[in-house]
Amino acid sequence: MILMEDENIEEIKILREKINELDDQILNLLNTRISICKEIGKIKRKNRIGIEDKKRENEILTKAGNFREIYLEIIEACKKTQGDNFEI
């Protein structure tokens, strides 16, 4: 096992702190997205519009590129906040 120099350990610590800051920002943005989706869900229920919109989902997934799998999870979480799951 190779022991890392103190300088390398400190550099890793600094980089991990930056990742933690980014994670906090991502979580804040996801929470904001969920809040907006809840509002959309209210409007959809009030107007009897289906929760799923495959065209919209495909637009988002196309933009997501390498993050497609992550966005699939985000979309599913958002749909759950909107209520009943039926297609339009």
67-85 pLDDT tens trace: 999 999 999 999 999 875 4
pTM: 0.79
The predicted pLDDT at position 7 comes to 83
Q: Hey, what domains does the chain have and what are their CATH numbers?
A: 26-88 (1.20.59.10)
Average pLDDT over residues 12-38: 97
- Note whether 72 and 61 are within 8 A (CB): yes
- Note whether 38 and 78 are within 8 A (CB): no
